[in-house]
Homo-oligomer: A and B are copies of this chain.
């Protein structure tokens, strides 16, 4: 079988090579991968920017879906042929996060999903119903779970509330789809008319072009009605937080799910203090949250937005597409031939 490895940091350090077939240990499954999906984290990992101390070689990628190929001893609730997604933080099954749980993530420090076969604990996968396609399922473990965790598990979204999503990356698009399926009003920001059209097709009630509307936070607040937006899905970090804090209502939530525009910067805490706003860091989520996401996706026939599907041999091109920022939704790798 083949697997990709980061042998050294930098895009040249990614290679695909033959490795021995995995055998399931006690309590484990061997999963034959069908598809995998890219996150921005994977790009940072490849560049050595995510965690420079990460041991190499490392099988990259956190997201994927496969079919159970072999079942280890002591496993009674899975059988060969079932489709499953390995969860991102392999030891975070339910409850609060912890250091140990947050260090058990795929695609670093643990080997990831960009492989033809992988071995995982049977406790660390989620079953995928038939109506979700392979490519769609591959997008769920990080982006889908993060959006559900931010809005529902942590955010306790209610029907009729307003949600502000930024741009058209994976989590943002999931948040848009999930929020609409739960009866919320969605305001999306983007920089292009083409993406604006797609966002509206996905159900966005309002789209703001943040290039022409630089005070987009104030605009979002007025579009939301009342005192402002109930939930902001903040992907930019310090570069966008100021506007997010303009958008959100007193007592509202800002979920920090990414820091694309910079993790460090001049941030004023005053508005969040004065308006009793909550900033909630979101680090993907537990298996329990993933299971609830799957139910929500299935019950509401939500189709995760797949930007493009690349072949297993085209991984470098897939990374380039991610790096270009021109994607809308998720970039997927087809693993099986």
Contacts and interface: CB of A to CB of B under 8 A. Distances in A.
A299 B93 contact: no
A187 to B, nearest CB: 12
A26 B161 CA distance: 33
A140 to B, nearest CB: 13
A256 B281 contact: no
B183 A96 contact: no
A265 B73 CA distance: 47
A294 B226 CA distance: 13
A96 B251 contact: yes
B279 A237 contact: no
B259 A264 contact: no
Contacts of A73: 26
Interface residues of A, number: 68
Contact of A270 (B99, B184, B264): B264
B159 A299 contact: yes
Interface string A239-255: 00100000001110000
Contacts of A278: 278-281
A300 B96 contact: no
Nearest to A250: B97
Contacts of A268: 263-264
Interface in A261-289: 263-270, 272-283, 286, 288
Nearest to A294: B160
A297 interface: yes
Contacts of A158: 152, 182, 292, 296
Nearest to A161: B295
Interface string A1-40: 0000000000000000000000001110000000000000
Interface in A211-263: 227, 237-238, 241, 249-251, 256-259, 263
A278 B183 CA distance: 25
A266 B97 CA distance: 27
A224 to B, nearest CB: 10
A160 B292 contact: yes
Contacts of A265: 266-267
A208 interface: no
B94 A94 contact: yes
A269 B238 contact: yes
A300 B279 CA distance: 28
Contacts of A238: 267, 269
Contacts of A227: 98-99
Nearest to A236: B269
7 contacts: A93-B94, A159-B296, A161-B295, A256-B272, A259-B269, A259-B270, A264-B270
